[in-house]
Structure 1
Amino acid sequence: MTIDVWMQHPTLKFVGHEVFEPLRRWTRQEVPSEEPPLEMTIAAMDAGEIRFGLTSAWYGPGGPLIANDEVARFVAASPERLAGIASVDLHRPMAAVRELRRCVKELGFKGLRLLPWLWGLPPNDRRYYPLYAECVELGVPFCTQVGHTGPLRTSETGRPIPYLDDVALDFPELTIVAGHIGYPWTEEMITLARKYPNVHIDTSAYAAKRYPAALVEYMRGSGRRKVLFGSNYPMLLPHQALADLDTLGLDAEARALFLADNARRVFNLA
């Protein structure tokens, strides 16, 4: 069983947004002519042998690219395959806290995701802090992006040190899942995962053959309980992300933890 912790159903509004134009160019993907059916996402999961996926909402300063209620509909249509990850309007902190609470308590979502590059605000900005406190109270992880950005936005907000380091210091009870491995600051991200019990890394947006050597070494050894699989579908298809997994040299325990068991524990999945 494999669990994908970072994916999103490719709605027209999402995949057609101007911010993803560089990614479409690099991956040679085109904007579809009509709304993609949810069956397309399930089929991509099947092709990659993904048993379960955490599908995310997307909110930015211009409003939702994928709204929380859209994600709730996707999950309701395929609850045995999907669970939701919330997103919120960072510029309205109290409304954001209430929306996060609704998503977890009423919709059954499993975490919160915010992308610092999309907001132009690093994760130690004061506007995130009420949401961190609410994540702790609700018992759900805060998920974010680390490393450089594919879209033409600043990469500075994705640097793990000092930004995510500050958050982990201020909120030792907060579970953090940092996606996109942190490249070119992967060793900074590994340092934080070693330093803080509740800080984790997910491998979304990277095929296994592109994992930095330091991350692979960490996954084989002391970090085997700290790294989770993510694809970043539809930008990277699950079967592409996992194609060269066997070349990493993970033993049976490390492989099982990476593909499913860490996700099951961190996101409190049955």
Structure 2
Amino acid sequence: MDVRDLVAIDVHTHAEVSAKGHSSLDDELHTASSAYFKVEGNRKPTLQEMAAYYRERRMAAVVFTVDAESATGTEPVPNEEVAEAAAANADVLIPFASIDPFRGKAGVKRARRLVEEYGVRGFKFHPGVQGFFPNDRSVAYGLYEVIEETGTIALFHTGQTGIGAGVPGGGGIRLKYSNPLHVDDVAADFPHLRIILAHPSFPWQDEALAVATHKPGVHIDLSGWSPKYFPPQLVQYANTLLKDKVLFGSDFPVLTPDRWLADFEQLPIKDAVKPKILKENAARLLGLTQP
């Protein structure tokens, strides 16, 4: 991957469907989230289609599944499949993985294998869907140890989620798990762990900004929202204190990079900061910076 040729690096995209055709969300949650995001076009692109999509736009994309099988009963898109597709399209796809934190020691062992044998660069956690507090020492701390030791990245969904929105009872998904202050404990307990707080963290935007300002290893991605809806304090911090720690992310395929970038152009982001958000910060964090 030649970073110099890239227009942008999208740090937040989802592998929605496996080669066998199954999704990591059941039909009810999938349909409801499509309605929530007002998705137009192909909601279930294959990994090869994703690679072609980003290659056409001269962008790279971090791609991952979400493993929440203990909570949902639905198998995820296999991590190995994601990693193999990324290896076959290494000019545009960057593999992250997802391990259900309730897999225990087996999950910890699998995480290490995914890094060592499949070249995975990070791990996605969705506390609301997976049903755990990130700072619960009895659940995910073994995974964090592996992630910190291997120098990979922990990416946490934060704030409200479109998954379960509009479904009776929210599909059983509880928003309390996704307060970014829970991740502050993780950042304190694992001081060398590199962390991304995903999304504008509504209704905890100020908490996310505080954590990212206070903890050197914590970054924020801007996925899941059109930039025209960003809270003003997020824009202010992205322009100033957090200009080296804020990252472009779309949440593709529910939100396209085309729409995100068009709306981003309307924000009062300084010209010197835009390339940092769109590419440079992610390149550095992912270890892609050219010598």
Counterpart of 2:117 in structure 1: which amino acid?
A: E
Find the residue that maps to 1:252 and give its secondary structure. Answer: coil
How far the C-alpha of 1:39 sits from its partner, in A, is 4.3
Find the residue that maps to 1:248 and give its secondary structure. Answer: coil
How far the C-alpha of 1:94 sits from its partner, in A, is 1.3
Distance 1:64 1:50 in 2: 32
Query: Which residue is 1:255 aligned to?
Result: 274
From 91, 101, 123, the equivalent of 2:134 is: 123
Find the residue that maps to 1:92 and give its secondary structure. Answer: helix
Find the residue that maps to 1:65 and give its secondary structure. Answer: coil
Distance 1:213 1:183 in 2: 13
Tell me if structure 2 keeps the 8 A contact 1:207–1:243. Answer: no
From 17, 37, 41, the equivalent of 2:50 is: 41
Cα distance per residue 1:41-86 (max 9 Å; x no partner): 2344356x35111110221123532111110232133111101001
Find the residue that maps to 1:106 and give its secondary structure. Answer: helix
How far the C-alpha of 1:30 sits from its partner, in A, is 8.1
Query: Which residue is 1:2 aligned to?
Result: 8
Tell me if structure 2 keeps the 8 A contact 1:44–1:237. Answer: no
Query: Which residue is 1:136 aligned to?
Result: 148
Root-mean-square deviation over aligned CA pairs: 2.1
Counterpart of 1:252 in structure 2: which amino acid?
A: D
Find the residue that maps to 1:55 and give its secondary structure. Answer: strand
Query: Which residue is 1:243 aligned to?
Result: 262
Tell me if structure 2 keeps the 8 A contact 1:144–1:179. Answer: yes
Query: Which residue is 1:159 aligned to?
Result: 179
Alignment length, in residue pairs?
A: 267
Q: Aligned ranges for residues 74-93 of structure 1 at < 5 Å?
A: 74-93=85-104
Counterpart of 1:137 in structure 2: which amino acid?
A: E
Counterpart of 1:40 in structure 2: which amino acid?
A: E
Query: Which residue is 1:56 aligned to?
Result: 64
Distance 2:216 2:42 in 1: 42
From 145, 160, 175, the equivalent of 2:157 is: 145
Tell me if structure 2 keeps the 8 A contact 1:50–1:238. Answer: no
- Structure 2: tracts of 5 or more residues without a match: 1-6, 164-169
Distance 1:203 1:43 in 2: 23
Distance 1:85 1:263 in 2: 14
* Residue 21 of structure 2 corresponds to residue 19 of structure 1: no
Distance 2:13 2:97 in 1: 12
Query: Which residue is 2:209 aligned to?
Result: 190
Tell me if structure 2 keeps the 8 A contact 1:15–1:31. Answer: no
Query: Which residue is 1:181 aligned to?
Result: 200
- Structure 1: tracts of 5 or more residues without a match: none
